[in-house]
Chains A and B, each alone.
Chain A
Amino acid sequence: MKCLDIKMPSDFEEAYALLNSQKKATIIAGGLFLRLQKQTIPLLIDLSGLNLDYIKEVKDGFIVGPMTSLRTIEKSNLPTALKESVKQISGVGTRNLATIGGSICGRYPFSDIDNALMALNAHLIFYKSGKTSMRDYYQNGLEDKDILIEIVVPKPGFSMIKYYKKVYTDFSLVNVSLADNDVAIGARPNRSMVVKNVDLNLSSKIILEDVEFGTDFQASGAYRRALAEALLDDILKERKAFYGS
Protein backbone atom coordinates (compact mmCIF):
# COMPACT_ATOMS: atom_id res chain seq x y z
CA MET A 1 0.00 0.00 0.00
CA LYS A 2 1.07 3.53 -0.68
CA CYS A 3 -0.60 6.35 1.15
CA LEU A 4 -0.28 10.03 0.31
CA ASP A 5 -1.73 11.51 3.49
CA ILE A 6 -2.97 10.40 6.90
CA LYS A 7 -5.20 12.37 9.26
CA MET A 8 -6.35 11.73 12.81
CA PRO A 9 -9.77 13.36 13.31
CA SER A 10 -10.88 14.47 16.77
CA ASP A 11 -14.57 13.57 16.39
CA PHE A 12 -16.89 11.48 14.21
CA GLU A 13 -18.22 14.44 12.25
CA GLU A 14 -14.70 15.36 11.16
CA ALA A 15 -13.93 11.71 10.37
CA TYR A 16 -17.09 11.38 8.29
CA ALA A 17 -16.33 14.59 6.38
CA LEU A 18 -12.80 13.35 5.65
CA LEU A 19 -14.11 9.95 4.55
CA ASN A 20 -16.39 11.61 2.02
CA SER A 21 -13.89 14.26 0.95
CA GLN A 22 -12.27 11.91 -1.60
CA LYS A 23 -13.57 8.85 -3.39
CA LYS A 24 -10.73 6.61 -2.26
CA ALA A 25 -10.33 8.02 1.27
CA THR A 26 -10.15 5.00 3.60
CA ILE A 27 -10.42 4.37 7.32
CA ILE A 28 -7.47 2.52 8.80
CA ALA A 29 -8.14 0.12 11.67
CA GLY A 30 -5.18 -2.12 12.58
CA GLY A 31 -3.88 -1.56 9.05
CA LEU A 32 -2.55 -5.10 8.62
CA PHE A 33 -4.56 -6.16 5.56
CA LEU A 34 -4.58 -2.64 4.16
CA ARG A 35 -0.78 -2.72 4.18
CA LEU A 36 -0.73 -5.81 1.95
CA GLN A 37 -2.97 -4.33 -0.74
CA LYS A 38 -1.39 -3.07 -3.93
CA GLN A 39 -3.06 0.32 -4.17
CA THR A 40 -2.39 3.99 -3.58
CA ILE A 41 -4.71 5.54 -1.03
CA PRO A 42 -4.88 9.35 -1.19
CA LEU A 43 -6.06 9.75 2.40
CA LEU A 44 -6.00 7.39 5.38
CA ILE A 45 -8.25 8.29 8.32
CA ASP A 46 -6.90 7.05 11.63
CA LEU A 47 -9.54 6.75 14.37
CA SER A 48 -6.95 6.14 17.12
CA GLY A 49 -7.73 9.51 18.72
CA LEU A 50 -11.45 8.81 19.25
CA ASN A 51 -11.07 6.49 22.27
CA LEU A 52 -12.77 3.56 20.56
CA ASP A 53 -10.78 0.91 22.43
CA TYR A 54 -13.17 -0.32 25.15
CA ILE A 55 -15.39 -3.16 26.31
CA LYS A 56 -18.39 -2.24 28.49
CA GLU A 57 -20.56 -4.86 30.14
CA VAL A 58 -24.26 -3.96 30.18
CA LYS A 59 -27.32 -5.83 31.48
CA ASP A 60 -27.83 -8.24 28.59
CA GLY A 61 -24.58 -7.99 26.68
CA PHE A 62 -21.47 -6.03 25.89
CA ILE A 63 -20.69 -2.84 24.00
CA VAL A 64 -17.35 -3.08 22.22
CA GLY A 65 -15.43 -0.21 20.62
CA PRO A 66 -14.33 -0.96 17.05
CA MET A 67 -10.68 -0.09 17.75
CA THR A 68 -10.46 -2.73 20.49
CA SER A 69 -7.53 -4.98 19.73
CA LEU A 70 -7.92 -8.73 19.26
CA ARG A 71 -5.52 -9.27 22.15
CA THR A 72 -7.82 -7.24 24.45
CA ILE A 73 -10.74 -9.40 23.30
CA GLU A 74 -8.72 -12.56 23.98
CA LYS A 75 -8.17 -11.46 27.60
CA SER A 76 -11.71 -10.10 28.18
CA ASN A 77 -14.88 -11.58 29.69
CA LEU A 78 -16.75 -11.45 26.37
CA PRO A 79 -18.74 -14.57 25.32
CA THR A 80 -16.55 -17.65 24.90
CA ALA A 81 -17.12 -17.95 21.14
CA LEU A 82 -15.72 -14.46 20.58
CA LYS A 83 -12.76 -14.85 22.96
CA GLU A 84 -11.81 -18.21 21.49
CA SER A 85 -12.21 -16.94 17.93
CA VAL A 86 -9.17 -14.64 18.19
CA LYS A 87 -6.79 -16.98 20.03
CA GLN A 88 -5.07 -18.44 16.99
CA ILE A 89 -5.12 -15.39 14.76
CA SER A 90 -1.42 -14.92 14.02
CA GLY A 91 0.82 -14.08 17.00
CA VAL A 92 0.33 -11.87 20.06
CA GLY A 93 2.07 -8.93 18.35
CA THR A 94 -0.32 -9.00 15.41
CA ARG A 95 -3.30 -9.39 17.73
CA ASN A 96 -2.14 -6.30 19.64
CA LEU A 97 -2.40 -4.36 16.39
CA ALA A 98 -5.42 -5.92 14.67
CA THR A 99 -8.84 -4.60 15.73
CA ILE A 100 -12.33 -6.08 15.85
CA GLY A 101 -13.62 -3.22 13.69
CA GLY A 102 -11.11 -4.05 10.97
CA SER A 103 -12.18 -7.70 10.98
CA ILE A 104 -15.86 -6.77 10.75
CA CYS A 105 -15.50 -4.16 8.02
CA GLY A 106 -13.24 -6.47 5.98
CA ARG A 107 -16.14 -9.01 5.85
CA TYR A 108 -13.55 -11.73 5.36
CA PRO A 109 -14.87 -15.19 4.38
CA PHE A 110 -12.15 -16.94 6.43
CA SER A 111 -12.59 -14.77 9.54
CA ASP A 112 -13.01 -16.63 12.82
CA ILE A 113 -14.17 -13.41 14.53
CA ASP A 114 -16.85 -12.67 11.93
CA ASN A 115 -18.03 -16.28 12.26
CA ALA A 116 -18.43 -15.94 16.04
CA LEU A 117 -20.23 -12.59 15.69
CA MET A 118 -22.60 -14.12 13.12
CA ALA A 119 -23.59 -16.92 15.52
CA LEU A 120 -23.88 -14.46 18.40
CA ASN A 121 -26.22 -12.27 16.30
CA ALA A 122 -24.20 -9.16 17.14
CA HIS A 123 -25.40 -5.73 16.03
CA LEU A 124 -23.37 -2.91 14.60
CA ILE A 125 -23.89 0.82 15.08
CA PHE A 126 -22.75 3.01 12.19
CA TYR A 127 -22.37 6.76 12.46
CA LYS A 128 -24.92 7.68 9.76
CA SER A 129 -26.74 4.43 8.93
CA GLY A 130 -27.45 3.61 12.57
CA LYS A 131 -28.07 0.08 13.80
CA THR A 132 -27.79 -2.97 11.54
CA SER A 133 -27.31 -6.64 12.25
CA MET A 134 -23.90 -8.23 11.76
CA ARG A 135 -25.62 -10.91 9.67
CA ASP A 136 -27.07 -8.36 7.25
CA TYR A 137 -23.90 -6.25 7.05
CA TYR A 138 -21.66 -9.28 6.55
CA GLN A 139 -23.74 -10.52 3.61
CA ASN A 140 -24.62 -7.21 1.99
CA GLY A 141 -22.32 -4.45 3.27
CA LEU A 142 -23.57 -0.85 3.16
CA GLU A 143 -24.53 1.24 0.16
CA ASP A 144 -22.66 4.34 1.30
CA LYS A 145 -19.40 4.91 3.12
CA ASP A 146 -19.87 5.01 6.87
CA ILE A 147 -17.99 4.66 10.14
CA LEU A 148 -18.51 1.75 12.54
CA ILE A 149 -18.77 3.31 15.98
CA GLU A 150 -19.94 0.45 18.23
CA ILE A 151 -20.50 -3.32 18.30
CA VAL A 152 -23.28 -4.75 20.46
CA VAL A 153 -22.61 -8.34 21.53
CA PRO A 154 -25.44 -10.22 23.28
CA LYS A 155 -24.81 -12.57 26.23
CA PRO A 156 -25.83 -16.06 25.17
CA GLY A 157 -26.50 -18.92 27.57
CA PHE A 158 -23.77 -20.94 25.87
CA SER A 159 -21.44 -20.10 23.01
CA MET A 160 -18.40 -21.76 21.49
CA ILE A 161 -16.31 -21.69 18.34
CA LYS A 162 -14.18 -24.48 16.89
CA TYR A 163 -11.96 -24.20 13.85
CA TYR A 164 -9.47 -26.35 12.01
CA LYS A 165 -6.11 -24.95 10.93
CA LYS A 166 -3.31 -26.88 9.28
CA VAL A 167 -0.84 -24.94 11.43
CA TYR A 168 -1.36 -23.03 14.70
CA THR A 169 -2.02 -19.34 13.80
CA ASP A 170 -2.92 -20.17 10.18
CA PHE A 171 -6.22 -19.29 8.48
CA SER A 172 -9.03 -21.75 9.23
CA LEU A 173 -9.99 -24.39 6.68
CA VAL A 174 -13.43 -24.24 8.23
CA ASN A 175 -14.91 -22.65 11.36
CA VAL A 176 -18.10 -23.41 13.27
CA SER A 177 -19.70 -21.32 16.02
CA LEU A 178 -22.72 -21.99 18.19
CA ALA A 179 -24.54 -19.37 20.26
CA ASP A 180 -27.66 -20.71 21.97
CA ASN A 181 -29.52 -22.34 19.04
CA ASP A 182 -27.86 -20.60 16.09
CA VAL A 183 -24.96 -22.22 14.23
CA ALA A 184 -22.60 -20.24 11.96
CA ILE A 185 -20.34 -22.04 9.49
CA GLY A 186 -17.53 -20.10 7.84
CA ALA A 187 -14.43 -20.49 5.67
CA ARG A 188 -16.54 -22.88 3.56
CA PRO A 189 -14.44 -21.31 1.80
CA ASN A 190 -17.26 -18.82 1.10
CA ARG A 191 -18.60 -16.38 3.67
CA SER A 192 -20.09 -17.57 6.94
CA MET A 193 -23.73 -18.56 6.86
CA VAL A 194 -26.10 -19.09 9.77
CA VAL A 195 -28.46 -21.97 10.45
CA LYS A 196 -31.03 -20.51 12.85
CA ASN A 197 -33.07 -22.08 15.63
CA VAL A 198 -31.45 -25.47 15.32
CA ASP A 199 -32.80 -28.48 17.20
CA LEU A 200 -29.61 -29.38 19.02
CA ASN A 201 -30.78 -32.93 19.63
CA LEU A 202 -30.26 -33.62 15.94
CA SER A 203 -26.92 -34.94 14.67
CA SER A 204 -24.35 -32.52 13.25
CA LYS A 205 -24.74 -34.30 9.89
CA ILE A 206 -28.43 -33.39 9.72
CA ILE A 207 -27.90 -29.85 11.09
CA LEU A 208 -25.35 -29.12 8.35
CA GLU A 209 -26.99 -31.03 5.49
CA ASP A 210 -28.17 -27.89 3.64
CA VAL A 211 -24.87 -26.03 4.10
CA GLU A 212 -22.76 -25.82 0.94
CA PHE A 213 -19.02 -26.46 1.21
CA GLY A 214 -16.70 -25.57 -1.64
CA THR A 215 -13.31 -26.71 -2.88
CA ASP A 216 -10.23 -24.53 -3.18
CA PHE A 217 -6.45 -25.03 -3.15
CA GLN A 218 -6.49 -25.74 0.60
CA ALA A 219 -9.19 -28.39 0.92
CA SER A 220 -12.05 -30.12 -0.88
CA GLY A 221 -15.67 -29.44 -0.07
CA ALA A 222 -16.14 -33.00 1.19
CA TYR A 223 -13.18 -32.62 3.56
CA ARG A 224 -14.55 -29.31 4.86
CA ARG A 225 -17.96 -30.91 5.46
CA ALA A 226 -16.40 -33.79 7.40
CA LEU A 227 -14.38 -31.33 9.49
CA ALA A 228 -17.39 -29.09 10.16
CA GLU A 229 -19.47 -32.06 11.31
CA ALA A 230 -16.71 -33.19 13.67
CA LEU A 231 -16.23 -29.67 15.04
CA LEU A 232 -19.97 -29.23 15.62
CA ASP A 233 -20.07 -32.61 17.36
CA ASP A 234 -17.35 -31.38 19.74
CA ILE A 235 -19.25 -28.17 20.41
CA LEU A 236 -22.49 -30.06 21.12
CA LYS A 237 -20.63 -32.34 23.55
CA GLU A 238 -19.22 -29.30 25.36
CA ARG A 239 -22.68 -27.75 25.47
CA LYS A 240 -24.09 -30.91 27.06
CA ALA A 241 -21.32 -30.86 29.64
CA PHE A 242 -21.97 -27.14 30.26
CA TYR A 243 -25.65 -27.68 30.98
CA GLY A 244 -25.00 -30.97 32.74
CA SER A 245 -27.32 -33.07 30.57
Chain B
Amino acid sequence: MEVKLIINGTHYKFAADPDEYLLDTLRKLGYKSVKRGCDTSSCGVCSILVDGDLVPSCSFLTVRAHNKPIITVEGIQLEARKIGEMITAEGVEQCGFCSPGHVMAVYALMRENTHPSLNEIKHYLAGNLCRCSGYEGQHRALKKLMEVK
Protein backbone atom coordinates (compact mmCIF):
# COMPACT_ATOMS: atom_id res chain seq x y z
CA MET B 1 0.00 0.00 0.00
CA GLU B 2 1.41 3.39 -0.94
CA VAL B 3 1.57 5.87 1.91
CA LYS B 4 2.82 9.44 2.09
CA LEU B 5 5.15 9.94 5.03
CA ILE B 6 6.45 13.27 6.34
CA ILE B 7 9.55 12.44 8.36
CA ASN B 8 11.34 15.37 9.99
CA GLY B 9 9.88 17.61 7.28
CA THR B 10 10.96 15.41 4.35
CA HIS B 11 8.20 13.90 2.20
CA TYR B 12 8.34 10.25 1.09
CA LYS B 13 6.14 7.96 -0.95
CA PHE B 14 6.56 4.52 0.55
CA ALA B 15 5.12 1.12 -0.32
CA ALA B 16 4.24 -0.39 3.07
CA ASP B 17 2.94 -3.84 3.89
CA PRO B 18 -0.44 -3.74 5.70
CA ASP B 19 1.22 -5.06 8.87
CA GLU B 20 4.41 -3.03 8.67
CA TYR B 21 5.25 -0.90 11.67
CA LEU B 22 6.93 2.52 11.67
CA LEU B 23 9.99 1.17 13.48
CA ASP B 24 10.86 -0.98 10.46
CA THR B 25 9.87 1.68 7.93
CA LEU B 26 11.97 4.37 9.59
CA ARG B 27 15.04 2.14 9.80
CA LYS B 28 14.62 1.14 6.13
CA LEU B 29 14.57 4.84 5.25
CA GLY B 30 17.82 5.41 7.18
CA TYR B 31 16.51 6.81 10.47
CA LYS B 32 18.74 4.57 12.55
CA SER B 33 18.25 6.52 15.79
CA VAL B 34 15.03 4.52 16.18
CA LYS B 35 15.97 1.35 18.07
CA ARG B 36 14.16 -1.94 18.59
CA GLY B 37 13.93 -2.79 22.28
CA CYS B 38 11.21 -5.04 23.69
CA ASP B 39 9.13 -4.90 20.47
CA THR B 40 5.98 -5.09 22.62
CA SER B 41 5.44 -1.36 23.35
CA SER B 42 6.68 -1.78 26.92
CA CYS B 43 10.15 -0.21 27.01
CA GLY B 44 9.91 3.15 25.20
CA VAL B 45 13.22 2.64 23.35
CA CYS B 46 11.55 3.09 19.92
CA SER B 47 9.63 6.26 20.93
CA ILE B 48 8.96 8.86 18.24
CA LEU B 49 6.41 11.63 17.72
CA VAL B 50 3.53 11.13 15.27
CA ASP B 51 1.21 14.08 14.78
CA GLY B 52 2.75 15.64 17.89
CA ASP B 53 2.11 12.63 20.15
CA LEU B 54 4.75 10.41 21.71
CA VAL B 55 4.17 6.83 20.49
CA PRO B 56 6.09 3.54 20.40
CA SER B 57 7.04 3.13 16.73
CA CYS B 58 7.17 -0.67 17.16
CA SER B 59 3.38 -0.68 17.51
CA PHE B 60 2.33 2.13 15.15
CA LEU B 61 1.23 0.75 11.79
CA THR B 62 2.94 2.60 8.94
CA VAL B 63 -0.30 2.94 6.96
CA ARG B 64 -1.82 4.80 9.92
CA ALA B 65 0.90 7.46 9.65
CA HIS B 66 -0.26 8.50 6.17
CA ASN B 67 0.17 12.29 5.77
CA LYS B 68 0.98 12.77 9.46
CA PRO B 69 4.17 14.54 10.58
CA ILE B 70 6.71 12.16 12.14
CA ILE B 71 9.62 13.35 14.27
CA THR B 72 12.67 11.30 15.24
CA VAL B 73 15.86 12.36 17.03
CA GLU B 74 17.38 13.22 13.63
CA GLY B 75 14.75 15.96 13.31
CA ILE B 76 15.42 17.67 16.65
CA GLN B 77 19.21 17.69 16.73
CA LEU B 78 19.62 20.98 18.61
CA GLU B 79 17.15 20.00 21.33
CA ALA B 80 18.50 16.44 21.45
CA ARG B 81 22.05 17.75 21.93
CA LYS B 82 20.93 19.99 24.80
CA ILE B 83 19.06 17.15 26.53
CA GLY B 84 21.92 14.70 25.85
CA GLU B 85 24.58 17.03 27.23
CA MET B 86 22.62 17.58 30.44
CA ILE B 87 22.27 13.81 30.89
CA THR B 88 25.90 12.97 30.15
CA ALA B 89 27.05 15.77 32.48
CA GLU B 90 25.42 13.78 35.29
CA GLY B 91 27.36 10.68 34.29
CA VAL B 92 24.25 8.74 33.36
CA GLU B 93 25.06 7.43 29.90
CA GLN B 94 26.39 3.89 29.76
CA CYS B 95 25.31 1.74 26.83
CA GLY B 96 23.19 4.55 25.33
CA PHE B 97 20.68 2.21 23.68
CA CYS B 98 17.67 3.79 25.41
CA SER B 99 18.84 7.36 24.77
CA PRO B 100 17.01 8.20 21.50
CA GLY B 101 13.65 7.08 22.92
CA HIS B 102 14.38 8.78 26.21
CA VAL B 103 15.31 12.04 24.48
CA MET B 104 12.08 11.92 22.44
CA ALA B 105 10.05 11.41 25.64
CA VAL B 106 11.81 14.34 27.35
CA TYR B 107 11.22 16.47 24.22
CA ALA B 108 7.50 15.51 24.24
CA LEU B 109 7.24 16.31 27.96
CA MET B 110 8.84 19.74 27.45
CA ARG B 111 6.31 20.52 24.70
CA GLU B 112 3.42 19.47 26.93
CA ASN B 113 4.55 20.87 30.26
CA THR B 114 7.22 23.57 30.43
CA HIS B 115 7.53 23.50 34.24
CA PRO B 116 6.86 19.97 35.47
CA SER B 117 7.43 18.83 39.04
CA LEU B 118 9.79 15.92 39.70
CA ASN B 119 6.77 13.64 40.18
CA GLU B 120 5.35 14.75 36.83
CA ILE B 121 8.71 14.02 35.19
CA LYS B 122 8.81 10.56 36.77
CA HIS B 123 5.21 9.85 35.74
CA TYR B 124 5.80 10.99 32.15
CA LEU B 125 8.98 8.98 31.73
CA ALA B 126 7.77 5.82 33.50
CA GLY B 127 7.36 4.12 30.12
CA ASN B 128 11.01 4.65 29.12
CA LEU B 129 13.16 1.94 30.62
CA CYS B 130 16.90 2.16 31.17
CA ARG B 131 18.73 -0.92 32.36
CA CYS B 132 22.06 0.82 33.13
CA SER B 133 21.41 3.96 35.09
CA GLY B 134 18.90 3.37 37.89
CA TYR B 135 17.30 6.69 36.84
CA GLU B 136 18.71 8.86 39.65
CA GLY B 137 21.20 10.62 37.39
CA GLN B 138 18.57 11.12 34.71
CA HIS B 139 16.25 12.73 37.23
CA ARG B 140 19.08 15.01 38.45
CA ALA B 141 19.75 16.07 34.86
CA LEU B 142 16.11 16.66 34.00
CA LYS B 143 15.50 18.65 37.17
CA LYS B 144 18.31 20.98 36.07
CA LEU B 145 17.12 21.06 32.46
CA MET B 146 13.54 21.91 33.39
CA GLU B 147 14.50 24.09 36.35
CA VAL B 148 12.55 22.04 38.88
CA LYS B 149 12.82 23.59 42.33
Residue numbers of A with Cβ under 8 A of B are 1-6, 28, 30-32, 35-36, 44, 46, 48, 69, 71, 87-88, 90-94, 96-97, 168-169
Contact = CB atoms under 8 A, between A and B. Distances in A.
Nearest 10 pairs of A and B residues by beta carbon: A91-B127, A3-B19, A6-B18, A96-B53, A93-B54, A93-B56, A3-B18, A94-B41, A93-B55, A169-B126
Contact of B55 (A2, A4, A35, A96): A96
Interface of B: 1, 18-19, 21, 40-42, 44, 47, 53-56, 59-61, 63-64, 105, 108, 123-128
A92 B64 contact: no
Given A32-B41, A90-B41, A97 B126 contact: no
* Most chain B CB atoms below 10 A, which of A36, A48, A88, A94: A94
A91 B19 contact: no
Given A6-B1, A93-B44, A31 B61 contact: yes
Contacts of B63: 6, 46
B41 to A, nearest CB: 5
B56 A48 contact: no
Given A44-B18, A97-B59, 7 more contacts: A3-B19, A91-B44, A91-B128, A93-B44, A93-B56, A94-B42, A97-B55
Contacts of A87: 123
A71 B21 CA distance: 21
A28 B64 CA distance: 11
